[in-house]
Structure 1
């Protein structure tokens, strides 16, 4: 009697089960694939051959050999092959060979997650255990490594150091002098799971890698980089975007696979109900199962429901997501690998190759957002040739419905491109400051060769976030340790979530998302427990929550506005013009809805009083010509409902064009935008600085409109639904939305006879930011400044601060003399105490009065002689401007000595002594000298846009000034 495999039994039972009748939209079997082997171009040394023999490996896959041959020749390589295709061996063997040939050789293995490094350390240990006669040392260096172990590792670096992006950024780069032995001997840098370095993390890592390579050059090393990746469309381009390196690519996997099944379910009662039934059936057959969801909240909800309905299996199910504490995640991983857990419900956090044992079944609750993620998650099952199944349980989302209607596209559609915006100015600026803090940054440094980086340096120097040396060749950081202010995985600062009952930290949330997801009144889920947010504290960056039993979840309501700051490129697309550029987006969260979890009905609408969130990003936009709007209005078409529906539909299908999730994007639609002078639709990258997603999609502008229209036309609903024009994250609750109006607008745009929009957009802004006015150029400002009649003032006093009881009593110090330089007459005017009224008359003739500490001292002393409002006098206080830039005060003598090579001739104490001795001529001479120095310092700053000072590190640097 022949027994079928448990997976086959499961699928047969599923297809025959009455509750799933008519719901299996697609089932495809993939026959086992035989592996293809090859021989290395150069034989391995005897010790490595022995290692392979002891591991039971007598042959290597062809793709492994292709990668190894290139690595052994010193070429940079990216291996982008399927999950479980043996990529670890491809970089481990060349590294071991290098250590065998030179015991001083070192390698750095970088993993995106600490858990991955822990997992790979075991694999490396297994390989090394068979290695003789040399001992291969490997160590993990991460946040969990003790201070004692860290020092031991730095003092005697292992052959292989396993770490993560945060440790490169926070430990190795800023303290490179402690790592000199490692960096000087570094032969290899391995970057595992490189496809995860996209979005905000990718933008950060593009800078971290450049900083690391810069330090390697400093210590005379030029390591070979090896990247491993899931199957993506552009592995070579991705590696180049991240590092600027040209790499050799290996993409075709030649590893064998067991029999595999792919099923697509179109559930009648919703994806959650169907998933719970599928999971329960899998548990009853002891199938080891992983369930992937699309959000943290859904992961927690599904775990709660699954435990409640699984009887004896309740304790063998666990949620898993980012935001859990490290020790919680490690415990879940260990229980899953050991078989103690039979099922795990996870976000994308378990998408990567952490060893969680051999799994049989993968349930996808909704399309993961990309072909890459679908097969990366599906690759977690069926390892070691086991028969396995991947089941996609479709939701109402537009992409889910697309694959219900075209399931063959899951197999036939190519993998998407992974996009990195290496020139994200918000991210790049922070890392350039870090680079300068690590090692003084020469303006001709190879790292600064790209134009975007040079523009970043100019921006940072102008803003005073970097100091330029006196000769203009070197940049210094004013901060000794700027690294701790840079979060690689977030677009802003982190908030901790604290349980009020015991002050226990439950997790973290990015400052960019906190107002949307952790506002007062929000429902927060953690490991199956429900918490209500009681308070949000921006000052302490804490979210305080309390346990609560509720039967609802929350969704924010918000309003958004956008302004075009810069146009990169624009082109005609059908009857409109589509543009890509830089936007400023402002979002105001105004309230939230309490939504019944059981039926989705809104129970209550609650107001919120939160500050607006404003950020700059990249986006694309297109207008709808006024003539088309007029046609719609004549036909009684709901224009705003149509624009809003097009925006939602376009964002919904966006991931068909680029590797993105709809949560990575934002959108705004309006029936009139003042800068477009027309109705418009904007789609933007949902993080500060942009991720490059819209730039990639702009290249396919015509296809974007085609696919958007197709998604609406193909949807069988009558008035619009989540499968076509509704959005689960819409801040206005999907109001107004009109599906038919959207089709009218899209059809009109595609009609070759439709009225065309203006050829190109143009943007002009004046200084106050209002659109439609020309900017005032710096040259015009300078010319205007040159025409101003200014005076430079300094006074000396009869008494000291000590004599009158403190500086706050300066009005009691009395004037001994004053000197005023008049730029119109190019002359100095001297006054003694009895002539102060004449001084006031002279001050009234001037357009601008300049001094050094004039507001806090000179004017206070003079206030004893008049009721004049000194606040009405246009005044430039050089000390005040210096303090605004630096955060601390510098003396006039310091600035004059470094900038003009001409210090003060005396000081205030000398002037006080001369007053008592009756030497007025000497006081006037000294005061006149101070006025001349202040004038010359002002002139130097006005003409050169900087003055010089000696910073706390004793470097003479430029201080940018705008005088």
Structure 2
């Protein structure tokens, strides 16, 4: 049951000043359609037993288009029933083999229709399997066999899936590393492939989107080799230009894709609250998961707001609000950007509940332990632990879950009363996905965005039109990027020799790249096509990592028992599981005794402090591939080495996180060899533009942010694919310098494109900053949602002076 008064639980007299803006999204009536004539009658009966007597109109439109053989993208809100539009044609196609009496011979089984479902996360695939199995039971359908298959699937189960499953649920990573390279063992699935379902396709943006687009091209190519012509069904959140994005993902003309964008499902009334934590007056704090510059000014405040001191941590505020919602029997998700934050919110919520005891007499009567109804959910948990948390949330055993964006996607969790969003999630697409979790299935719900001390968050909650009145972002990715395309051409050639017709499949830059790969000895050209050079030692699929993980995950192992508690991404391990670190797992604290060889040995220990790592980062110019001197400004592009090393850690006493002591660490440096563009100019020239030495850091930093935000205009990329660094004196240039680099090993071509089109790029950057109506800077011009220094220092006027100087001396285009 959903509670319309959830906001009243939070709006105590002490908190009323924290509510900055309230928006009521009205309820919407649903529009139903008729079941298609081709729909399997048993499946229709199964839906009826689940209360679905008729589908929503958008479900019918998408399913009809897919059944007719047209690729379709269904871009509607969270909770609008997108799964039905996929499974109705998918299961009906599989059952058609039974109705048509194809028999059970080996030949018949090899012709049996199959469906391949791809999701961006294992959690979503597991949730879909749970829903499918429940649906098939309700429909009394026993001759359709669904199964998940991913990196967690044991070999014996994987063999069964390969030989028998009709509906295979997996992810692009398994497709790339396992299924496609071993396609001959999967030819039963590929030969019968009728539908490819790409769920939450808006998640594939930037370099990941380019990789997944090429994986899909390889999949469709192999399916055609085995005689299949599958139809793609793509499900997306409400996003900008879904038809074009879906076409680019599949590699087909946009006119071959049907976009269904009108949501006809009923929606309950939703309340969206924008919230700013109160002034900190108790010393209470939580560690933020973003590094903060030690000598920068305080957070931005809206024009006219008083300088009222630091505000309470977003994590502390979220934990207190979550505590009250749990005590009021409201089922809630609390979204937070970091894994550390998810554990901290869950731990503090349990502590508050334990201190105050049950608030509802029903809890006391039922002997409910409130602390047991709260948990954290994040990456790094073992698969079985994730599945158990998902089950407990569905059944209501858990009232609250503090989660990273792992539960932002379409895991079917109905009946939630409220969603707390701890800090701006970075994009409006993510924001609306998280808001859509509240009040699903037509019930009323509450969503609260709680501002962190990042100036961007403060700006947004005081300018609701930037969130609630602006269109959602379009998905940006470029499958023609040669840095991404080249290794996929190698993988494709190893799967099946590339031929002339394949050139169109992979795009116009393919012929030149194939010639280059042959020159480098990766491929061999023959009269019949391009072949992988099997004399090479590399596994062609291992030439690229879809998600840029940077190495194998580090296992967290409990000393004495040898039990694996979880894993930590390689890129984060030095900062989180170094020797002496405190590792938190579902409220239990572990002390890291040793960390080496991709294993962290931990011992459970109660300590009165938490640890926070300190790191050092710098950029080295390895090779300047091209440069131009235009007046006093030097423009360059080349190879960079971005070096980062964790140099120590602090112990901070609970609960206020006062500094207890700092300790050095001797850990290796981690380097990212990539490509980037940069410019430099003598400090005196910048001073002549009206800047002072004190202005220079903020001016350069703001110009860097603005340039990164506008690079997508000239290079098909997402700002999350780009890194940057600005400095008033760089050791290689010996001048004030701004770097913009690709955040992927080897580069991704984005910075190269920016260098080639620097004048239109920086013209758009200057015009955007100058045309923004804010006084001192905002997310629409110089603030960045991914800034590691909390968007400080930033100087809008200084950035305009810098950008004006750059355009005055920009190279001709």
Scaled to the shorter chain, the TM-score interval is 0.7 to 0.9
Asked if residue 186 in structure 1 is aligned to residue 193 in structure 2, the reply is: yes
Partner of 1:106: 114
Instruction: Name the CA shift for 1:640/1:487 in 2 (closer, same or farther; >3 Å).
Output: closer
Give the equivalent residue in structure 2 for 1:117: 125
* Aligned residues between the structures: 737
Larger Rg computed on CA atoms: 1
> What residue number does 1:758 align with?
809
Q: Check conservation: 2:493, 2:531, Cα contact below 8 A.
A: no
TM, length-normalised to structure 1:
0.68
Structure 1 counterpart SS, 2:234: strand
Decide which moves more: 315-324 or 677-686. 677-686
Residue aligning to 1:242: 249
SS in 2 for 1:435: helix
1:495 to 513, 528, 553: 553
Name the Cα RMSD after superposition: 4.3
Q: Where does residue 10 of structure 2 map in the other structure?
A: 14
Q: Would the alpha carbon gap of residues 562 and 330 (structure 1) be closer, same or farther in structure 2, given more than 3 Å must change?
A: same
Q: Which moved more, 1:264-273 or 1:282-291?
A: 264-273
1:125–1:340 CA distance, 2 compared to 1 (3 A)? closer
Partner of 2:101: none
Q: 1:198 aligned to 2:216?
A: no
Deviations 1:879-907 (A, max 9, x none): xxxxxxxxxxxxxxxxxxxxxxxxxxxxx
1:381 aligns to what?
A: 438
**Separation of aligned partners in 1, 2:793 and 2:141:** 74
| Cα-to-partner distance string for 1:736-776 (whole Å, 9 max, x where unaligned) | x754xx3442242466xx685423189xxxxxxxxxxxxxx
Pick from 496, 501, 505: which aligns with 2:564?
A: 505
Deviation of 1:92 after TM superposition, in Å, equals: 1.6
3-state SS in 1 of match to 2:419: strand
Alpha carbons of structure 1 residues 467 and 630: separation in structure 2 relative to 1, 3 Å: same
Structure 1 distance, partners of 2:511, 2:571, is: 28
User: Which whole-Å deviations, capped at 9, do the CAs of 1:37-57 have from their partners, x for residues lacking one?
Assistant: 345786756556545544443
Deviations 1:129-161 (A, max 9, x none): 465899433333334545444333333x33322
Rounded to whole Å, the distance in 1 between the matches of 2:197 and 2:488 is 21
Q: Are the structure 2 counterparts of residues 383 and 566 from structure 1 closer, same or farther at C-alpha, using a change threshold of 3 Å? A: farther
Counterpart CA distance in 1 for 2:407 and 2:563 is: 25
Give the structure 2 partner of residue 401 of structure 1. 458
User: What is the aligned counterpart of 2:75 among 80, 83, 87?
Assistant: 80
Does the residue aligned with 1:181 lie in a helix, a strand or coil?
Answer: helix
SS of equivalent to 2:5: helix
- Post-superposition CA distance 1:511-546 (Å, at most 9, x none): 444445555555543333444555554xx4334455
By how many angstroms is 1:350 displaced?
Answer: 1.1
Kindly state the Cα deviation for residue 310 of structure 1 after the two structures are TM-superposed.
1.0
Structure-2 residue corresponding to 1:748:
801
1:264 alignment partner in structure 2: 274
CA deviation profile, 1:805-832 (whole Å, cap 9, x unmatched)? xxxxxxxxxxxxxxxxxxxxxxxxxxxx
- Give the aligned partner of residue 700 of structure 2: 643
Name the residue aligned to 1:316: 373
Aligned to 2:366: none
Q: Secondary structure at the match of 1:261?
A: strand
1:137 pairs with one of 117, 120, 145: 145
Q: Cα–Cα, structure 1 residues 747 and 114, in superposed 2: closer, same or farther, change >3 Å?
A: closer
Residue 881 of structure 1: aligned partner: none
**Mean Cα deviation higher: 411-420 or 620-629:** 620-629
Structure 1 residue 420 and structure 2 residue 477: aligned?
Answer: yes
- Out of 220, 232, 251, the position equivalent to 1:213 is 220
CA deviation digits over 1:292-313, x for unaligned, max 9? 1110111112222111111242
Task: Say which SS state the counterpart of residue 615 (structure 1) adopts.
Answer: strand
2:102 matched residue in structure 1 = none
Answer yes or no: is 1:554 the counterpart of 2:637: no
1:92 aligns with 2:92: no
SS of residue in 2 equivalent to 1:174: coil
Aligned equivalent of 2:339, options 287, 296, 304: 296
Please, which of 235, 241, 263 is the counterpart of residue 253 of structure 1?
A: 263
Task: Name structure 1 gaps, 5 residues minimum.
Answer: 718-722, 763-963
**Pair 1:187–1:676, CA change in 2 (3 A):** farther
Counterpart contact for 1:567–1:579, Cα < 8 Å: no
Q: Aligned with 1:189: secondary structure?
A: strand
Q: What secondary structure, in the 3-state scheme, does the structure 1 residue paired with 2:809 have?
A: coil
Post-superposition Cα deviations, 1:65-101, rounded to whole Å, max 9, x if no partner, equal 2212221221111111111111111122222333354
Are the aligned partners of 2:320 and 2:349 in contact in 1 as well (CA < 8 Å)? no
- 1:332 matched to 2:383? The reply is no
Greater alpha carbon shift after TM alignment, 477-486 vs 234-243: 477-486
Distance across 2 between alignment mates of 1:141 and 1:658: 35
Q: Please list every run of 5 or more consecutive structure 2 residues that lacks an aligned counterpart in the other structure.
A: 99-111, 281-311, 358-369
Shift of 1:338: 1.4
Which one scores higher on RCO, CA 8 angstroms, separation ≥ 6?
Answer: 2
Q: Would the alpha carbon gap of residues 465 and 329 (structure 1) be closer, same or farther in structure 2, given more than 3 Å must change?
A: same
Alpha carbons of structure 1 residues 90 and 690: separation in structure 2 relative to 1, 3 Å: farther
Structure 1 match to 2:158: 150
Kindly tell me: are residues 82 and 579 of structure 1, through their superposed partners in 2, closer, same or farther at Cα, counting changes over 3 Å?
A: farther
1:613 has 2:671 as partner: yes
Partners of 2:658 and 2:786 lie apart in 1 by: 14
SS in 2 for 1:494: coil
Q: C-alpha separation between the residues in 1 aligned to 2:91 and 2:467? A: 39
Using the size of structure 2 for normalisation, the TM-score is 0.79
Distance in structure 2 (CA, Å) of the matches to 1:190 and 1:711: 41
TM-fit CA distance, 1:197: 2.3
Distance 1:449 1:706, change over 3 A: closer
Give the match for residue 650 of structure 2: 594
Counterpart CA distance in 2 for 1:685 and 1:234 is 25
Q: 1 CA distance for matches of 2:773 and 2:737?
A: 19
Cα contact 1:174–1:481 (8 A) shared by 2: no
The answer to whether the 8 A contact 1:494-1:509 is kept is: no
Aligned equivalents of 2:35 and 2:391: distance in 1? 36
Cα displacement string for residues 439-458 of structure 1 (whole angstroms, at most 9, x for unaligned residues): 33447634775344445444
Q: How does 1:534-545 map to 2 (within 5 A)?
A: 535-537=594-596, 540-545=597-602
User: How far, CA to CA, are the matches of 1:624 and 1:679 in structure 2?
Assistant: 6
CA distance in 2, matches of 1:307, 1:130: 38
Q: State the shift of 1:255 in Å.
A: 1.1
- Structure 1 residues 348 and 600 mapped into 2: Cα distance closer, same or farther (>3 Å)? farther
Distance in 1 (alpha carbons) for counterparts of 2:496 and 2:579: 44
Identify if the C-alpha distance between structure 1 residues 672 and 204 changes in structure 2 by more than 3 Å, giving closer, same or farther. Answer: same
SS in 2 for 1:383: coil
Distance of aligned partners of 1:689 and 1:412 in 2 relative to their CA distance in 1, 3 Å threshold: farther
> Aligned partners of 1:232 and 1:725: how far apart in 2?
21
Contact 1:351 1:376 (C-alpha < 8 Å) held by counterparts: yes
**CA distance in 2: counterparts of 1:633 and 1:679, whole angstroms:** 15
CA distance in structure 2 between the aligned counterparts of 1:116 and 1:453, rounded to whole angstroms: 34
Deviations 1:353-372 (A, max 9, x none): 22334211100111111111
- Tell me which residue corresponds to 2:298: none
Q: Deviations over 1:226-271 (max 9, x none)?
A: 1111112132333233331232212221211111110011112322
Counterparts of 1:41 and 1:725, CA distance in 2: 48
Aligned mates of 1:242, 1:252 — CA distance in 2: 21
- Is contact 1:230–1:376 with CA below 8 Å preserved after alignment? yes
1:816-866 per-residue CA deviation (whole Å, 9 max, x = no partner) reads xxxxxxxxxxxxxxxxxxxxxxxxxxxxxxxxxxxxxxxxxxxxxxxxxxx
Q: What secondary structure sits across from 2:173 in the alignment?
A: helix
Aligned-pair CA distance for 1:660: 9.8
Q: Tell me if structure 1 keeps the 8 A contact 2:200–2:236.
A: yes
CA contact (8 A) 1:80 1:230 kept: yes
